[in-house]
Each structure stands twice: as C-alpha cells, then as structure tokens.
Chains A and B, each alone.
Chain A
Amino acid sequence: VHNGGLYKRPFNEAFEETPMLVAVLTYVGYGVLTLFGYLRDFMRQWKIEKCQNATEREEQKDFVPLYQDFENFYTRNLYMRIRDSWNRPICSVPGAKVDMMERVSHDYNWTFKYTGRVIKDIINMGSYNYLGFAQNAGTCQEAAAKVLSQYGAGVCSTRQEMGNLDKHEELEKLVARFLGVESAMAYGMGFATNSMNIQQELKGVICLAVKHNLLNIFLSPLLIQGCLILSDELNHASLVLGARLSGATIRIFKHNNMQSLEKLLKDAIVHGQPRTRRPWKKILILVEGVYSMEGSIVRLPEVIALKKKYKSYLYLDEAHSIGALGPSGRGVVEYFGLNPEDVDVMMGTFTKSFGAAGGYIGGKKELIDYLRTYSHSAVYATSLSPPVVEQIITSMKCIMGEDGTTVGKTRVQQLAENTRYFRRRLKEMGFIIYGNEDSPVVPLMLYMPAKIGAFGREMLKRNIGVVVVGFPATPIIESRARFCLSAAHTKEMLDMV
C-alpha cells in the first residue's frame, strides 16, 4: 500500500484468487445448466413438457409480444430452480432472530403455497440490521408510536407544497450535526434520493436505476454535459446508465485502485474532453463507503488526497457504512479519522443502521439549498412519514449518546467485535472470505451454481437464514453467500452459524 503514511490504522483487505479447479468446475456447471435450459425450452415448444408460465390474453395474442424469449431464458431455466432462496416472507421483527412463514412448492418452484406454519427463531444473517435498531420495543419504538398517534401515518403532500413538517426540519438539523457537515436534506427513499438529485446537479436526465439509483438521483443535479464522472468498478451499473443519460462522461477505475484513479485524473485534466479538447467543467469521483457485494472499504485517505491535489469533487455513498463503521458510528469518514468537510457530497440511507426508511444528503449549505429548490423529490414526491422520522431521530440520538445512555456506544462496539470474531472464525475454518477485516458485510465465496441453492436450503434446515447472490449481481463465477452482521447478534448465535 503506497501512501501508507496516511492511514492511522492497519488496513487489511484480502481478495483471494479463486482456485483454478473451482473456476473450471463452475464454468462446467453453468454450461450444463444452459444445455438443460435449451433442452427444456425445446420440449416446451413441442408441448412435451407443460408450459407453466403465465400467458397473454386471448384477445391480445396478435399484439407484439411483450417479452422476448431470450430475455427470459435465464429466468425460466436457472432462476426458477433456486427461486425459493429469495423473497422469503417473514412475520416478525427483522432482528437477530426472525420468524419465517413456511412455504412449499409442489411444482419445482413455479408456484408456492403457504402451509400456514411458522418457522420460529431463525438466526437472521441477511437483513441489513447493523446496529440492531430493528426492534419492536424500547425507546425508539415508543417514540415512534407517540408520533404516529399524533401525526398519522402518511403526509399526502410534497416537501415544497404542504408536506414540510417541523419534524423534517428537526431531522435535517440532527443529521447535519451527526455527520459533521453544514447542512443536510432527507428524502423518503434512498433510491429516489440518488436518481433525483444527481439529475438536478447534472441538469440532465434522471437516472432511475437500481439501488445505486440513489447516486443517479443525487448526481443528476450536479452533472451537465461537460462533466466527468470517475466511478469505481463496483459501483452499480445503473449508475453508469444514469450518468450516461445525463450527458456526462463516465470513466471507470479499478476497484479501490488508487494508481488507476490517479492516472485517470491526470489524463482527464491534461487532455480535456475527448474530441473537443476543451477543459472539463467538473470532475466528480464516485465511491462507496462499504461495497456491499465485496465487503471492502474504500481507501478514503488516499482518495481525499487525490481529490485535493486535482481539485475534483467527491461523492461518497455511505449506504452500508453509516452507523456501522467508526468508533462512534459516524461512518467511514470517522473510521479513518478524516474531516467530513473534505467530502463534498455525503449520501446515505436510513434503512440499514437506523432501522427506518429513507435517505439523506449532507454537504455545504449552497449544495443543500440548491437541492431544496431543484431536486425532483422535493417538488414531486411525498415527504417522509412522521413515525419513520421519529425512529431516525431517536436512533440517531441514541448512537450519538444524547439520550443519556451508553446504549449507542455499546452497540457500535458490539458490532465491531462481532465483525472481527466472525471473520476470524470463518477464516480459521478455511472458507474464502472477501473484503476488509472491519467491514460488517461478509461475503463467503461459493462459486458453483449448484451450491447456491444447496447452501441456502441447508442453512435454512439448521434454522439460519442467509442471503445468496449469483449472476447477474456478481461476476459469473463468483457467486457468494453474504452475511450481514449486526450488533444484536450474540456470540452464541455466531458460534452456531
């Protein structure tokens, strides 16, 4: 690690290479699945096998078909076999232990029936409940209940019209104080936060994209044609789509690779825009605090040093790291001991560590004023629901220690301990784990497609709920199971896992 002097603590990240044999077997596995897929499609077409998809209406049979066969190939043949690993319905608080509704499928996952029984006390390693605030008792819940009875559940108006409650103002001041920035703005949905704001700043097209839609929305106000976005390799593709829609140019640098980023920055400033050679209007670097699929943490000190040297702007997406990293839970900026004012746009969500819903952006006052005036959500989208706002306020105060107890601090420490313990034990057992040692997202590599389904089901039999991800969210040979640690997990639970 060059620039090691910038780091105040050891930065241990490891991404083991996949063993050659495993990679080959994985490809073979996918090849076999694809062959079977073609075979079954053939049989379905010749009516040897019954087609169980929903079909078009009789009256509309001569319309242009809505879906193309090839698009659904993956869905029909690969996804359907292991569909029961996802969308598992639960019927209790998504805390450390959860109750799940049992479902069976008699026709190989095409349809599900609920047996009516409930599997109780499944250890929950899949919900993004980092600090354990997903509770149905305690101060947060009581405060939210009080606000619910006072204010009601919905708001029925947009921020700029009649939906700006005093609670929202209180929340925004609190968020700004928590992050250490000048001012902040809160939105109803993380997703919406990104797409709509990016648009504004970009004065271009909205980027409605997936989870990192957030980024798109945020970036849109910031970017115009003539702007350059440098985005990490693992930032979601939707971001790329969104940025392209806005008219800005996007260039990708290798994941967490500072030399690659520096080279791109140098080239950009020296050579200017690709054909006209005019200088770029703005350069924006897009990184995430913790990458959810890899479990790695961004090398923030180096990024900030580069940003200052080349006068660009930094956009930090802390969806997974706020509340989860740092000695007092203030995110990746505090984890490295840096100044939050160095980051131009800090964006995050309230869904993960605070047990609520929504997102926020923090930054300088001019930026937030601009967003308040021109952001799509402020003008067209309903504001946050009051009990949700109250949950965020109470949990944030708890983390900051302002409610008079040390519950917040103990939770943050518990999470850090859990993370280190869990990772150490898994490594001792010989699994391949990706990512930084301090990141609460632990991906465990599975590689082979057959293992994805099998792992999920076996763990469920042992009363542990995990999340498995495969293509297209990850590269094709690197499917993984992802554990999300939480402060609510006790040592016994982790040992059982």
Chain B
Amino acid sequence: YFQAPAYHLILEGILILWIIRLLFSKTYKLQERSDLTPKEKEELIEEWQPEPLVPPVPKDHPALNYNIVSGPPTHIITVNGKECINFASFNFLGLLDNEKVKSAAQASLKKYGVGTCGPRGFYGTFDVHLELEERLAKFMRTEEAIIYSYGFATIASAIPAYSKRGDIVFVDEAACFAIQKGLQASRSNIKLFKHNDMADLERLLKEQETEDQKNPRKARVTRRFIVVEGLYMNTGDVCPLPELIKLKYKYKVRIFLEESLSFGVLGERGRGITEHFGINIDDIDLISANMENSLASIGGFCCGRSFIIDHQRLSGQGYCFSASLPPLLAAAAIEALNIMEDNPDIFQTLRAKCERMHKALQGISGLKVVGESFSPALHLQLEESCGSREDDVKLLKRVVDYCMNSGIALTQARYLEKEEKCLPPPSIRVVITVEQTEQELDKATSLLKEAARSLLN
C-alpha cells in the first residue's frame, strides 16, 4: 500500500490531524442560553401581561344582534314578533314544511332516536345512511355517493382529501367561503381566475403548461384541479360548464363542481348544472352539494365515480372523525328526494317564478339585480355606493327594515369581511321559492320599489 499516490496519503494525514483536533477542542453550544438569574426570570414572569383573549365587539355591530325567528322558518315566518312572507331562507322547493317529509322523519325518530352517538367507523353507520347514499347516487346517475353530517364541512373536507401541498388548484374568484377554507386546509397552490372568465383561466393554464415543460418530472406528479360552483352563491350566475370540459381535456385538469345552490334547481329533473347543459356526468370528477337548500335537511354529500369517492371514506376529515348524520335528517332527505323524483314539474314552476321576479325587479331605481334570470337566489346591490362599506350596509339595513315592517322578510347577505378573498359588495339577498304566489311576488317587488324610492334618493 505504499504504492498509493502521494496526494492520497497527504489527504489522509490531514484528515487524521483534523480529527485529533476536533476531539481535543472544547465543545461549545450552538445557542447561547440566556444567563438570567432565577430572580430575573421571576420578574419577567410578573411583568408580562397578555392581550385580552378576544378584542371587544362594539355593541351596535350589525352582525351581533340576530333576528329571532319564532316558530318554523317556512313560507310565513314570524321574525322579531312580526309575521312576514319569507324571502330569505333557501327553501327553494318548499320542502321544509312538507307533511310527507315530516312524517318520514317522525317514523325515523321513533325507530332510532335522535343522535347517532358515534362516527361512521364506530357503529354510527345506519341503514338510512346507506340508503340515502344509494338513492343520491342513483338520482345523480353516478356510481357512488358519500354523506357528510354538515354542509359547510362537505366541500371543505373533500378538497384537502385529494389536493395536497404542491398541487395546483385553479379556482374562481367568487367561490364561496367553504371552498376557500377547504383550499386553505389543503395547502396547495391556489390560482384565482376572474369570475366566469374562460380566457383568463386558459391563460393561467397555458402559463402552467410552460412551467411544466421546464420541469417535466415534477409536472408528472403535480395534480391539477379546477374548482367551480354550479350556481354561485355570491353572484347568482352559472359557470360555463361546456367550455370548462373542453379545457379539462385539453390541459388535463380535473374538475370539482360545487352544486349547493344548483342541486334541485337547475336541469329538467333537478339534477343540477350537468343536466342543465346536457353534459355527461362522468366528465365531472367530483360533485359536492349540501342538502340544506333544496332538500330542506341538514348535511351534505359528494357524488362521483367509486374510484374517487371511496378515497374520502378514509381520508375525508369531516367523514371519518365526526359523528354521522342524525337518522331523522337522513330520512327527511330520502323523502324529499322521493318528492323531487315524483314531481318533476316543480322545477319548471320554480324557474317560471324566478324569471318573473327577475324581470319585475329590473325597474327599481337605486338597486340593481345581480344574478341569472333562472337563479332562485338573487342579490340586490346598490347602484351607487355611498362611499364606505359601512354606510352601504347601514343603508341596505334600512331598506330591509322597511320591508320587514310591511310584511316581507329579507336579509342582507352576510360575509366575514376580513377573511374573504374577494369580498362581494354589500347586497340584499332575495330568495324565490316554489311556495310564493304571484301576488306575494308582486307585493315584494312593489315594497322594494317604495323602499328604494323613499330611502335611496
């Protein structure tokens, strides 16, 4: 081994010297712990004052004093002691008060009691849950459906189950708060595109494509999703689904569709926006909706192919670790589905009423209507803002109070101002249901006209 090259021996010699030096040098700590005496520590502890747990809320904050509804929130509603016609609850098909739904829930209450006392994994799965999942899957013509016990948690648990850190999600600006929370929890890259602007979305997709070509290995494992709503809650219009499908296949992106408002409203038989546009439902990867609007129950569901839905049974946060839906609510939802399947003409009636109301509301000076003509949840925004959001909110409140005093119950659309990504302007929410008669629609319109004339000029 003396034939080894000279540099090799020299290198080894240096290394051995270095090791000897390290062994004998003094060790030192990387972080200097402070040398405070115990007495100084005590003083610091004494002096420290924390902030109050929550900042105080001013007494006249508009969101602090809720309207109290006595009695059921159905077509005729008693708000703060006054009887009004309900234009504020999302009871589109009028199923909240339906006798058949109530008796189905009663029967279930007699059989199962109220609560389920457990999550789905631990004796919380009832046959009504399984039945409801089958019925929903059959109704929507998909392979499988999964039920959540809370509407807000549905999309907010579904998105993080598939999209993780490093994945890319393209989402519309006007997406509702539950979607925003799901996106935050998923920790993915969020790219917002302008509301319903397909050109903007295509631009973002093209940019992503050029990025991918620079790093093809990473691109092969980065999942991509588009999240849109069928009928947007914040703006009342629909997403252009056919163009989205084209973009999907061109750029290989998966689509998640949130149909809380459009389920039970759009389409020939209420199947939502896919039926409205005549699109094959297998083209959409995941449809999520909550049962709290048209189905007049509580909870939410996701439906799609088994390949996709089955994954949520183990990794959907709101599914695995929360108590399951109370069986009486599941039975109410099944009965509501029965009614929807047996009477397909209520969807036509609802659409006709929406069109009528939309047209009638056009002529109000000072307020503009935001939303499609067939959307049952419209927004009335001020044509000219007063200057600040607070003043706008106060002005709209006066309009709402005027209407409530004369027998029409309306509400302002509520948002968490500091937390929304793209805060919509303040507005009054007008909800059209199948139970409202033509006279009531006319009365509402004329009251709004009067209120606008007297308060907004």
Contact = CB atoms under 8 A, between A and B. Distances in A.
A and B: partners? yes
Contacts, number: 383
Contact of A245 (B114, B129, B185, B291): B185
A284 to B, nearest CB: 8
A89 B125 contact: yes
Contact of A148 (B106, B252, B314): B106
A86 B122 contact: yes
Nearest to A95: B113
Contact of B127 (A91, A128, A279, A355): A91
Contacts of B125: 87-90
B220 A64 contact: yes
Given A64-B224, A355-B115, A87 B157 contact: no
Interface residues of A, number: 130
A266 B298 contact: no
Given A89-B125, A155-B73, A67 B112 contact: no
A109 to B, nearest CB: 13
A332 to B, nearest CB: 20
Interface residues of B, number: 126
A376 B220 CA distance: 37
Interface in B163-199: 176-178, 181-182, 184-185, 187
Contacts of A190: 322-323
Nearest to A100: B123
Interface string A144-183: 1100111111111111111111100100000000000000
Interface string B44-88: 110011111111110001011011111111100101000000101
Contacts of A88: 123, 125
A61 B339 CA distance: 39
A56 B429 CA distance: 41
B156 A208 contact: yes
A380 B109 CA distance: 28
Interface string A297-337: 00000000000001111000000000000000000000000
B403 interface: no
Given A66-B223, A91-B127, A136 B109 contact: yes
Interface string B413-430: 111101100000000010
Given A154-B296, A391-B114, A57 B44 contact: no
A281 B50 contact: yes
Interface stretch (B13-21, B145-153, B358-366): B145-153
Contact of B297 (A153, A211, A371): A153
B341 to A, nearest CB: 19
B185 A66 contact: no
Interface of B: 34, 36, 41, 44-45, 48-57, 61, 63-64, 66-74, 77, 79, 86, 88-91, 96-97, 101-102, 105-106, 109-127, 129-130, 149-153, 156-157, 160, 162, 176-178, 181-182, 184-185, 187, 219-224, 249, 252-254, 282, 290-293, 295-298, 305-308, 310-311, 313-314, 317-318, 320-323, 325-326, 328-329, 332, 409, 411-416, 418-419, 429
7 contacts: A63-B253, A94-B113, A126-B118, A133-B115, A136-B109, A149-B106, A467-B122
* The 10 nearest A-B residue pairs measured at CB: A210-B321, A211-B321, A189-B150, A164-B66, A153-B332, A381-B152, A54-B307, A370-B54, A208-B185, A351-B323
